[in-house]
């Protein structure tokens, strides 16, 4: 089936004339209209726009002007502004917002010929680890519809896993590409902070947010990243560095590569079966010549508390613009400006967003700034230094992506600490700004489990190389969810 093919395979089929971009797009759109979409992965489907772009792609190809992703059907997380299309960030407050411009990432992918099928569901303003915090309802995990797909990019990961698009964009603030990729059995990479432009991406925490692709394979992720990455003068945090051809280094052997296993990531919080699957993956890499050793990242235990001071502080500042005055939802018949602000924000923000705004405002308030926010930023520097010390002896780090497979919907809703700890292995790389990737590494009962690789700054090529070499030796990335999911 066409939707089971990777981007690499679809490109070959388009080049050989096996099918047209229009035929491919109609195939995916038919899936979005059928039972495959009952997982609630999409907020908006842009069928007419997709068909127009697919037809243009076929014309360009006939003239010899095909781009690197010409005719490939993709989706965007609904936090990426898309000109003329609703961009909601999963929130009521932006339910009717039509973006007047497109994010740099959206423009780059469009210029490369990709066909946008629509916008995927997500936790509101990317705040969550389960995709249960969306105004549009929770996304269901295609492997088991009683379970979460992970968050906040759960719609993107679920859509790729269910064959509703060939690839999707996501954002990762504390693990929001990698954790849902693990829960849904797909590949997701968070590049170095600043490697991909944030311009046009609705902000959660500006010093942590980073866009990245979610795909079936590391090879596909490399193709997407080659297009998405690059310096953007419109983004002051964008890195002014050239973008390698990531696909050129995929075939490099990994013999002699030094891989560190962080002791703190294999603690009592790790599910035993998940840990066993990760160690089996380590054995595969070792059989290919990788040299495995243990390292210690002693600041790991401080990552979650530091993150949940810094991220809410930044979110409280970023979300102050949603006041009912300039755009978005506005309460009816406000008595005065104060009433307008209060009722608009009370009505249109969900509980998780309200909680994080309150925590962030408290951390930044007079008398508490030094005790909380400044201290958290100091811890952040220690975490970064910890990683840099580890990279003196190893080339990359390996760990589980999440401590457990996907949990049941509602299972952790009343336990915020348990929910936040789902990101315990992913948050540190966001605080340090390091690149990291999650790839499928086994089946836990009937649910996928992800392996995480963390690299040094701008070392995405090595991460993709190792991930690709692992996938050449295993078939976990080729597995698809059972029809209808498993209860």
pLDDT in tens, 385-409: 999 999 999 999 999 999 999 999 9
Averaged pLDDT for residues 195-200: 98
pLDDT in tens, 255-266: 999 999 999 999
Residue 37 has pLDDT above 80, yes or no: no
- What interhelical angle do 351-364 and 303-318 show, nearest 10? 100
**Domain boundaries, given as residue ranges, for the chain:** 2-259+392-478
Distance CA 136, CA 121 (A): 7
- HSE-CB at 301 with a 13 A cutoff on CA atoms is 7
Active site positions, annotated: 77, 152, 176
Three-state helix/strand/coil letters over 192-256: CCCCECCCCECCCCCCCCEEEEEECCHHHHHHHHHHHECCCCCCCCCCCCCCCCHHHHCCCCCCC
Q: What's the burial of 43, exposed, middle or buried (CB within 10 Å: 0-12/13-18/19+)? A: buried
Q: How confident is the model at residue 487 (pLDDT cuts 50, 70, 90)?
A: very low
Q: How confident is the model at residue 36 (pLDDT cuts 50, 70, 90)?
A: low
How high does pLDDT run on average in the chain?
Answer: 96
Class of domain 2-259+392-478: alpha beta
Closest by CA to 171, choosing from 94, 90, 270, 244, is 90
pLDDT in tens, 316-351: 999 999 999 988 899 999 999 999 999 999 999 999
Q: Which of 39-53, 55-69, 182-196, 472-486 has the lowest mean pLDDT?
A: 472-486
Could you tell me the pTM of the whole model?
0.97
pLDDT in tens, 200-243: 999 999 999 999 999 999 999 999 999 999 999 999 999 999 99
Residue 485 has pLDDT above 70, yes or no: no
Residue 17 has pLDDT above 70, yes or no: yes
Averaged pLDDT for residues 256-285: 96
pLDDT for position 366: 85
Q: Residue with structure tokens 């690059």? A: 230
pLDDT for position 242: 94
Averaged pLDDT for residues 38-47: 96
């Amino acid at each position: 089936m066409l939707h089971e093919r990777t981007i690499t395979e679809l490109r070959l089929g388009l080049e050989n004339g096996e099918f047209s971009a229009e035929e491919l797009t109609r195939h995916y759109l038919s899936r979005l209209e059928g039972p495959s979409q009952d997982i609630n992965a999409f907020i908006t489907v842009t069928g007419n726009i997709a068909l127009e772009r697919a037809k243009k792609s076929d014309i360009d190809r006939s003239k010899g002007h095909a781009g690197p992703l010409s005719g490939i059907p993709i989706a965007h997380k609904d936090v990426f502004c898309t000109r003329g299309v609703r961009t909601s960030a999963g929130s009521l407050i932006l339910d009717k917002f039509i973006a007047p411009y497109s994010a740099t990432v959206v423009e780059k992918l469009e210029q490369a010929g990709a066909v946008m099928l629509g916008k995927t569901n997500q936790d509101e303003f990317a705040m969550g680890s389960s995709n249960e915090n969306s105004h549009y309802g929770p996304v269901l995990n295609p492997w088991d519809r009683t379970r979460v797909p992970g968050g906040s990019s759960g719609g993107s990961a679920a859509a790729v896993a269910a064959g509703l698009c060939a690839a999707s964009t996501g954002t990762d603030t504390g693990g929001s590409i990698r954790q849902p990729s693990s829960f849904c059995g797909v590949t997701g990479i968070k590049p170095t902070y600043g490697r991909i432009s944030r311009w046009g991406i609705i902000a959660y925490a500006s010093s942590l947010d980073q866009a990245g692709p979610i795909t079936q394979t590391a090879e596909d992720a490399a193709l997407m990243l080659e297009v998405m990455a690059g310096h953007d003068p419109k983004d002051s945090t964008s890195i002014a560095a050239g973008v390698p051809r990531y696909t050129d280094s995929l075939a490099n052997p990994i013999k002699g590569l030094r891989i560190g296993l962080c002791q703190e990531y294999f603690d009592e919080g790790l599910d035993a079966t998940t840990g066993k699957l990760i160690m089996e993956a380590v054995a595969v890499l070792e059989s290919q010549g990788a040299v495995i050793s243990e390292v210690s990242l002693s600041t790991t235990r401080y990552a979650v508390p530091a993150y949940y001071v810094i991220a809410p502080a930044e979110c409280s500042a970023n979300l102050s613009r949603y006041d009912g005055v300039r755009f978005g939802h506005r309460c009816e018949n406000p008595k005065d400006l104060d009433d307008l602000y209060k009722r608009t924000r009370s009505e249109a923000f969900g509980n998780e967003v309200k909680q994080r705004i309150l925590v962030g405002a408290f951390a930044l308030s007079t008398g508490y700034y030094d005790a909380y926010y400044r201290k958290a930023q100091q811890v952040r520097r220690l975490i970064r230094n910890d990683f840099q010390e580890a990279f003196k002896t190893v080339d990359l780090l390996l760990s589980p992506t999440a401590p457990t497979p996907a949990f049941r919907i509602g299972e952790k809703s009343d336990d915020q600490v348990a929910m936040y700890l789902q990101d315990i292995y992913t948050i540190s790389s966001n605080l340090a700004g390091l690149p990291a990737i999650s790839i499928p590494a086994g089946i836990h009962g009937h649910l996928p489990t992800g392996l995480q690789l963390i690299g040094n700054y701008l070392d995405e090529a090595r991460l993709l190389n190792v991930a690709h070499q692992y996938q050449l030796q295993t078939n976990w990335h080729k597995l698809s969810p059972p029809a209808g999911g498993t209860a």
